[in-house]
Structure 1
Amino acid sequence: MRNILVLGGTRFFGKRLVERLLREGDSKVTILTRGRAEDDFGEQVSRLNVDRTDAKALAEAVGDTPWDVVYDNICFSPDEADAAGRIFAGTVKRYILTSSLSVYDPRPEALTEADFDPEVYPLRLGAKEDFNYQEGKRLAETVLLKQDAFPVATVRIPMVLGMDDYTRRLHFHIEHVREGRPLGIPNTQAAISFIRSDEAADFLYWLGFSQLTGPVNACSDGTLTIGEILTIIEAATGKQAVIEAETADEDMSPFGITESWHMDTTKARSAGFPFLALSDWFPELVTQLNASLGNRE
């Protein structure tokens, strides 16, 4: 029986990861959160309620408990990563950091792990508020991959979608098309990667058994352009999207990138993980979300 700690396991793909761990029945699971979001795991999990940005409180909460795997879904700064490196040294066999496509700058070609190398990136410490999201994730990777107390894999995922997406980014587009509101799209031909929330959880679960270390890209197979996304939404809603290059801030698309921004997953696929086909699940998700929005009216 493996002893697993999940930092951030009460919503979205973190919650789905916990569900997957419990379903397989091969792990004793502890979730660590601030305790502000309720969960429905009952006595199936142990809980540590602590703010992970408080290094002293985090150290006291985890103590010297040995962990087979620590999944860190809520690390956003080099200070947080640095504290984790000290706190879990000597107690964890494998550390998995949820990172992001955002560590890369957009470009036309598919991005490989080598396109951002944390091993040579200049290290700076600081809190979450000292950096934008991209730089915070870059530096968190840099800190953890430069330490040698335990092996680390950093999972670079794109936007995560699903019926359970609390950010409602895909909902945003469907609602705008349904209501005839303009959508700010600077480049309809920009291609982007996505991953479904349960697929992200499945990948994290699989990676806990893998020997892969360092950066690992994880996304569904294939890409969609923003224009293709809107075509799928138009088919589901029966309405035409109103697309403008610039709109009021509240109408600018969360997918409104100016250049393509998508990843190559050869490293993970070569190690044996079978990603879902984006073209298979994305239209179905749009249909489901559109139906759910119709039921609320």
Structure 2
Amino acid sequence: MKLLILGGTQFVGRHIVLAALERGHSVSTFTRGQTPDDLPAAVTRLRGDRSDLEHGLDALQSGRWDACIDVSGYLPRVVRHSAETLRERVGRYLFISTVSVYAPGERETTTEDSPLIELEDPDTEDVRAHYGGLKVLCERMVTEVYGERATHVRPHIVAGPDDHTRRFTFWPEALAAQTEVLAPGDGSDPVQYIDARDLAEFCIHLLEQNAGGIFHTAVPAMSWHAFLNGVAEGLRSQAELVWTPTAELESRGLGWNDLPLFIPRTQDDTALMRVDSSRAVAAGLKCRPLAETARDTLAWSVTLPADQRPTPIPVR
């Protein structure tokens, strides 16, 4: 296939490009050219700024592609403009969304049909405050333009090498560097993620099958006890896990930013960590072992400067 990637130089986009090339497809990326690019020479690099609704997509006016993967769409008006510009020259449009599109609530599991966020102000462009709600509107823009030729992939928190968010990375770093690691809660709270490489391979697989629809990508929910022990196994870490009650964490002012991935069952958005990805598994999603993700993530992270690596949290 001939594939167009809107984005492609960082983390998820980069892994999608590499997965496509590995499977023998030709790839063009469309970026502003502001991020360092170490992609293979076989990639065709197109330049532009999709937020410029007048001339920003000039480089896309003449090409034709079997499919487009949009990894950089956050604002509905920008996504609509890109989708409409490419409508007659792209066979399928795959939009990378997020599991954060769902309205908070108490439910046993989150499926692709669970209630979505509905923004009170659909014209807002505050991505930081309304990331999930804006992704909902972006999905709708793509569906309106492409109909059955639209595919939406809703990834969970993405892990693996090149992860600039450092969320999953915090835990392999802690277990490798500390003899005692503060472990949140009592070990029974649920946690999920998706390796960026598994997400990338699944996206390419969907396009090869010309598959439409909406798909979650996430490993099956596991307990924090299983998660941290799985990370430790991958690293052969002997660190002691010091389980710390949620009330104590709160009294110390420790939350999501300090202990990433941890959402106590007492919060109303705990369903984020009980996402059902059975539809994607049936369509071909394959997830590598946690130990492999932890090992490879740490091997990448330790190559970074110290100020770019996660800061450990004292046990007491």
- TM-score category, normalised to shorter length: 0.7 to 0.9
Q: In structure 2, which of residues 143, 146, 150 is the aligned counterpart of residue 145 of structure 1?
A: 143
1:72 corresponds to: 70
Q: Contact 1:79–1:126 at 8 Å: present in 2 too?
A: no
Cα separation, partners in 2 of 1:36 and 1:255, compared to 1, 3 Å = same
Question: Could you tell me how far 1:293 is from its partner in structure 2?
Answer: 6.6
Residue 286 in structure 1 maps to residue 284 in structure 2: no
Question: Could you tell me how far 1:274 is from its partner in structure 2?
Answer: 4.2
Q: Contact 1:12–1:197 at 8 Å: present in 2 too?
A: yes
Cα separation, partners in 2 of 1:65 and 1:123, compared to 1, 3 Å = farther
For residues 302 and 27 of structure 2, the distance between their equivalents in structure 1, rounded to whole angstroms, comes to 37
For residues 252 and 266 of structure 1, the distance between their equivalents in structure 2, rounded to whole angstroms, comes to 31
Q: Secondary structure of the residue that 2:287 maps to in structure 1?
A: coil
1:238 corresponds to: 239
Return the TM-score normalized by structure 2: 0.78
For residues 217 and 171 of structure 2, the distance between their equivalents in structure 1, rounded to whole angstroms, comes to 24
Cα separation, partners in 2 of 1:98 and 1:180, compared to 1, 3 Å = same
Higher mean C-alpha deviation, range 133-142 or range 33-42: 33-42
Q: Contact 1:189–1:226 at 8 Å: present in 2 too?
A: yes
Return the TM-score normalized by structure 1: 0.82
Cα separation, partners in 2 of 1:240 and 1:18, compared to 1, 3 Å = same
1:12 corresponds to: 11
For residues 263 and 128 of structure 1, the distance between their equivalents in structure 2, rounded to whole angstroms, comes to 26
Question: Could you tell me how far 1:58 is from its partner in structure 2?
Answer: 3.2
1:53 corresponds to: 51
Residue 270 in structure 1 maps to residue 282 in structure 2: yes
2:311 corresponds to: none
Q: Deviations over 1:172-209 (max 9, x none)?
A: 23444544788584685332322111111100100112
Q: Contact 2:50–2:82 at 8 Å: present in 1 too?
A: no
Equivalent AA in structure 1 for residue 274 of structure 2: H
Q: In structure 2, which of residues 257, 260, 276 is the aligned counterpart of residue 254 of structure 1?
A: 260
Higher mean C-alpha deviation, range 57-66 or range 141-150: 141-150
Q: Quote the sequence identity (%).
A: 24
Cα separation, partners in 2 of 1:231 and 1:42, compared to 1, 3 Å = closer
Question: Could you tell me how far 1:23 is from its partner in structure 2?
Answer: 2.0
Q: Which residues in structure 2 correspond to 1:195-210 (within 5 Å)? A: 195-210=194-209
Equivalent AA in structure 1 for residue 262 of structure 2: G
Q: Secondary structure of the residue that 1:254 maps to in structure 2?
A: coil
For residues 33 and 282 of structure 1, the distance between their equivalents in structure 2, rounded to whole angstroms, comes to 32
Q: Contact 1:4–1:28 at 8 Å: present in 2 too?
A: yes
- Across the two proteins, how many residue pairs are aligned to each other? 289
Residue 43 in structure 1 maps to residue 41 in structure 2: yes
Cα separation, partners in 2 of 1:99 and 1:65, compared to 1, 3 Å = same
Gaps of 5+ in 1: none
For residues 228 and 121 of structure 1, the distance between their equivalents in structure 2, rounded to whole angstroms, comes to 36
For residues 130 and 170 of structure 1, the distance between their equivalents in structure 2, rounded to whole angstroms, comes to 20
Equivalent AA in structure 2 for residue 275 of structure 1: K
For residues 146 and 152 of structure 1, the distance between their equivalents in structure 2, rounded to whole angstroms, comes to 9
Cα separation, partners in 2 of 1:134 and 1:182, compared to 1, 3 Å = farther
Q: Which residues in structure 2 correspond to 1:149-160 (within 5 Å)? A: 151-160=149-158
Cα separation, partners in 2 of 1:230 and 1:21, compared to 1, 3 Å = closer
Question: Could you tell me how far 1:14 is from its partner in structure 2?
Answer: 1.5
Q: In structure 2, which of residues 117, 130, 133 is the aligned counterpart of residue 132 of structure 1?
A: 130
Equivalent AA in structure 2 for residue 11 of structure 1: Q
